[in-house]
């Protein structure tokens, strides 16, 4: 029986992880890195990342695909300790897209890049037949200059590190779902889509080399990030469910739809892994920033070799937090 690609392969969970590690990894050089951005071996102060954005709908509460594309690329650079400097933008436009929508998207993309100090220096545009592109796809490549003495990276995570999240989780996932399905939420939810260059800089300044790793929990949410880091670093993790910030309306919507908010995508949050000595300073710095005022320590890294991620529940029991499995919400970012 021939295997085929399904939407689950793009969910950011276990199926995506298998596709990347078993199939797509053959593309990469031996020095490829499994962080959000790669530090170039020949130029140790340069980080590079690439991403594609296929969100539906193109415009949603809190942003649009243009802001999302710029934000996602910028955030992948800043979690490696890099200052965004340059970006390329490739557009695949479907015949029939209103020009007013394209103009709105490009304005959002440009203003977000300007906010973070990243210049769009190259790009490409293709137009495909009606029915072939679902409106608009955007591909980006970002280049940043590393200022941190030792760039944060998954390989530096160690036992007793504290795990910090910078705010409420699941907002983006619920905002997209509500817009796509026209859900009548009593309290509207907006995407958290935002560039994190300034917040990440403040946290790195406060913690220095004690900030061992940072990630932005996009597809697959917090669960995917914790499991990916645990597997890569050969450690375990234990987090406290009551410490994880989730808005009541996001929790309620997730429960109604049978979703776990820890599996939902975020576009304006980061997860930091800090030494126990630096964590209080990093947390204090994050809470002083508008995008990090709800930051909290949610748990700690435990010794390997078992790479299991566990959650302490409000009932005092412990459950395993696995990678998301199957198709959760396609076309999310």
Per-residue model confidence (pLDDT) at position 226: 97
Residue 18 lies in a domain: yes
Q: Given this model, what pLDDT does residue 12 score?
A: 67
CB of 251 closer than 8 Å to CB of 312: no
Task: Kindly report the average pLDDT of the chain as a whole number.
Answer: 91
pLDDT for 308: 95
Whether 35 and 139 map to the same domain: the answer is yes
Asked, for residue 174, whether it belongs to a domain, the answer is: yes
Please tell me whether residues 124 and 188 are part of one structural domain: no
Is the domain of 165 the same as that of 137? no
Contact present, 265 and 221 (Cβ < 8 Å): yes
Same domain for 292 and 174: yes
User: Is pLDDT at 181 greater than 70 in this prediction?
Assistant: yes
Residue after which a domain boundary falls, among 146, 166, 195: 146
Q: Does residue 330 form part of some domain?
A: no
CATH code: domain of residue 195? 3.90.650.10
> What is each CA distance from 245 to 233, 239, 309, 313, in whole angstroms?
25, 12, 18, 14
Cis peptide before 305 (omega within 30 of 0): yes
**Mean pLDDT, range 115-137, rounded to an integer:** 92
Backbone φ and ψ for 327, nearest 5 degrees, come out as: -90, 115
| CATH code for position 46 | 3.30.1330.10
109 and 179 share one domain: no
pLDDT score for 299: 98
Residues 99, 188: one domain?
A: no
Are residues 209 and 268 located together in one domain of the fold?
yes
Residues linked to residue 164 through DSSP beta bridges, in sequence order: 272, 297
pLDDT tens-digit profile of 63-103?
999 999 999 999 999 999 999 999 999 999 999 999 999 99
Rounded mean pLDDT, 221-228:
96
Q: Do residues 82 and 44 make contact, with C-beta atoms less than 8 angstroms apart?
A: no
- Length, in residues, of the chain: 333
Measured in whole angstroms, how far is the alpha carbon of residue 185 from the centre of its chain? Answer: 25
Phi, psi of 198 (to 5 degrees): -75, -40
Q: What is the pLDDT of residues 309-323, one digit of tens each?
A: 999 998 889 999 998
Average pLDDT over residues 276-285: 98
User: Quick check: is 2 in a domain?
Assistant: no
pLDDT for the residue numbered 27: 66
Residue 35 lies in a domain: yes
Same domain, 50 and 178: no
Q: Which of 146, 179, 207 is the last residue of a domain?
A: 146
Q: Are residues 219 and 101 in the same domain?
A: no
Tell me the residue range of the domain where 52 lies. 7-146
- Indicate whether 165 and 69 sit together in one domain: no
Query: Looking at the domain assignment, is residue 19 inside a domain?
Result: yes
Give a yes or no: residue 325 inside a domain. Answer: no
CB-CB contact of 121 with 142 (8 Å): no
Q: Note whether 203 and 288 are same-domain residues.
A: yes
Q: Write down the pLDDT at residue 14.
A: 77
| Same domain, residue pair 40 and 161 | no
Q: Count of domains in the chain? A: 2
Using CA atoms, how far apart are residues 26 and 48, in angstroms rounded to an integer? Answer: 19
DSSP annotation string for 187-215: S---------HHHHHHHHHHHGGGEEEEE
* More reliable by pLDDT, 174 or 133: 174
Q: How confident is the model at residue 327 (pLDDT cuts 50, 70, 90)?
A: low
> Does the residue 333 lie in any domain?
no
Look at residues 100, 127, 146 and tell me which one is the last residue of a structural domain: 146
């Amino acid at each position: 029986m021939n295997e085929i690609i399904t939407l689950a392969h793009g969910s950011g969970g276990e199926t995506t992880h298998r596709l990347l590690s078993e199939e797509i990894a053959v593309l990469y050089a031996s020095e490829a890195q499994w962080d959000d951005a790669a530090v170039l071996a020949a130029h140790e102060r340069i980080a590079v990342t690439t991403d594609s954005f296929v969100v539906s709908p193109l415009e949603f509460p809190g942003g649009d695909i243009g802001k999302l594309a710029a934000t996602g690329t910028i955030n992948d650079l800043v979690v490696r300790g890099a200052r965004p400097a340059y970006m390329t933008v490739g557009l695949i436009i479907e015949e029939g897209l209103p020009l007013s929508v394209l103009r709105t998207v490009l304005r959002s993309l440009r203003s977000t890049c300007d906010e973070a100090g990243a210049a769009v220096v190259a790009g490409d545009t293709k137009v495909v037949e009606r029915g072939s592109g679902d409106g608009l796809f955007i591909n980006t490549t970002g280049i940043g200059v590393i200022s941190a003495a030792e760039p944060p990276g998954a390989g530096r995570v160690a036992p007793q590190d504290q795990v910090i999240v910078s705010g409420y989780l699941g907002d983006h996932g619920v905002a997209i779902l509500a817009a796509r399905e026209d859900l009548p939420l009593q309290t509207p939810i907006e995407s958290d889509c935002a560039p994190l260059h300034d917040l990440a800089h403040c946290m790195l300044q406060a913690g220095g080399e004690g900030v061992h790793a940072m990630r932005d929990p996009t597809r697959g949410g917090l669960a995917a990030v914790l499991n990916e880091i645990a597997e890569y670093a050969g450690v375990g993790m234990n987090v406290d469910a009551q410490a994880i910030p989730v808005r009541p309306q996001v929790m309620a919507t997730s429960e109604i739809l049978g979703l776990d908010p820890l599996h939902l995508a975020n576009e304006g949050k980061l997860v930091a892994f800090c030494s126990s000595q630096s964590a209080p300073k990093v947390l204090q710095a994050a809470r002083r920033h508008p995008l990090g005022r709800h930051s909290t320590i949610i748990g700690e890294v435990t010794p390997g070799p078992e790479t299991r991620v566990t959650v302490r529940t409000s009932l005092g029991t412990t459950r395993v937090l696995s990678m998301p499995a199957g198709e959760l919400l396609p076309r999310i970012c």
